[in-house]
Amino acid sequence: MAGVDRRTVLKGVGGAAALGVSAFAVTRFDTPDREQDPATCSAEDISATDKRLVFSNWPEYIDEDDGDYVSTLTQFEKDTGIKVRYTADVNDNNEFFAKVSNQLGSCSSSKRDLFALTDWMAARMIQVGWIQKLDATKVPNLHANIIDSLKSPDWDPKREYSAPWQSGLTGIAYNKAKVGEIKSFKELLTRKDLKGRISLLTEMRDTMAFLLLIDGADPANFTPDQWDTAVDLLRKARSDGQVRSFTGNEYVQDLASGNVVACEAWSGDIANAGDENLVWIPPEEGIIIWADNMLVPNLATHQANAERLIDYYYEPEVAAKLAAYNSFICPVKGAQEAMQDVDPEQVDNELIFPTEETLSKTHRFMALDEATMRTYEGDFADVTGA
């Protein structure tokens, strides 16, 4: 699930079970008039007198109150007195970009204090000047507890502008009540019993990474010819009627209802679905690993409140509680130890704390310059109909 769209790729590295951030090149928007200076495109912070916060995030990404269970967000509100308007309206990086680009590109308010986006989109927004610098003194837990592999990405080496929310894996999911086991992405695209009954992700880098792997190409280092071959494979699957739809997070509902019986999927979404018939697997071709990042946009009026929330989620006990609920990879040091008290059965859950063996199967997507990125996104859109 990360250099991959929703999910920009992190690559497994040697040594103890660690995640390695992809060398993701930061590209510039080709519209200089939309670049901003965060120092001058800022608003008065009214956090001290207005205990509120607006946070946009991805669906199925946070724990919720349930009977006697008090969610991490509710506990934050109780502890701080800050009321959070939490909205799961980030369904796709490009889709969310379209929601806020006119405002942020013209130094207008997006009416949000915090949102979470994948590495590649976070990098672009930071470079174009749409994101406020965090006050390091207000997020000490972030700098003390972030796992080493996420500490210094190329696009924000000191984590001055961003804080990982969660990481995860991209693979395959299927409904075992509707279809037999699926082992590979190639099967997903070719098995006759799956025709018209699968979905793929709208995130170009996620989906195309697997198409490249099917043909034996390395998503982190491929040629234009290999790209064309991968696009042709996708085009054939679409024209043959194999693919029912290209989706963002809504694929979970389609899979549970039987609208599709198998799909490309993010690991934590399936673990969170609460349906024992839904199974997530790492495809034989390999898996993708990603991270989403919390960002404070220009003209946010509650930055100090947002920073307090960021710091709260970097407490190991809080991070463990969140990870136990949503089963995404935890970016916080000490969370695995804290998990012993939160939920001992999750201490060795590879979806939360992946082993070196799992990480050795991960891939990243090649860094693209702006012109190539636009070409490739156009190729992908031509097939998906976006």
CB half-sphere exposure, 69, CA atoms < 13 A:
11
Residue 74 pLDDT: 98
Could you tell me which residues come within 8 angstroms of residue 98 by beta carbon, excluding any fewer than 6 positions away?
A: none
Amino acid (one-letter) located at 83: K
Residue 368 pLDDT: 76
Question: What is the rounded CA–CA span in Å between residue 170 and residue 247?
Answer: 14
Instruction: Name the percent of the chain in helix, strand, coil, to the closest 5.
Output: 40, 20, 40
What 271-275 contacts at long range (C-beta under 8 Å, 24+ apart), as own/partner pairs, is 271/326, 271/327, 271/351, 272/60, 272/325, 272/326, 272/327, 273/60
Residue 8 pLDDT: 39
Residue 120 pLDDT: 83
Residue 9 pLDDT: 38
Question: What is the rounded CA–CA span in Å between residue 35 and residue 26?
Answer: 14
Token pair for 314: 């970097």
Residue 33 pLDDT: 66
CB neighbourhood size of 108 (10 A): 13
- pTM for this entry: 0.78
Question: What is the rounded CA–CA span in Å between residue 241 and residue 48?
Answer: 56
In order along its 386 residues, the chain shows pLDDT tens digits of: 333 333 333 333 332 333 333 333 344 444 456 899 999 999 999 999 999 999 999 988 999 999 999 999 999 999 999 999 999 999 889 899 999 999 999 999 999 999 999 988 998 899 899 999 999 999 999 999 998 878 988 889 999 999 999 988 899 999 999 999 999 999 999 999 999 999 999 989 999 999 999 999 999 899 999 999 999 999 999 999 999 999 988 899 999 999 999 999 988 888 878 899 999 999 999 998 788 999 999 999 999 999 999 999 999 999 999 999 988 899 999 999 999 999 999 999 988 998 888 878 888 787 777 788 889 999 999 999 86
Residue 272 pLDDT: 78
Say if CB 41 and CB 131 are below 8 A apart.
no
State pLDDT tens for residues 147-159.
Answer: 887 898 888 999 9
Residue 32 pLDDT: 53
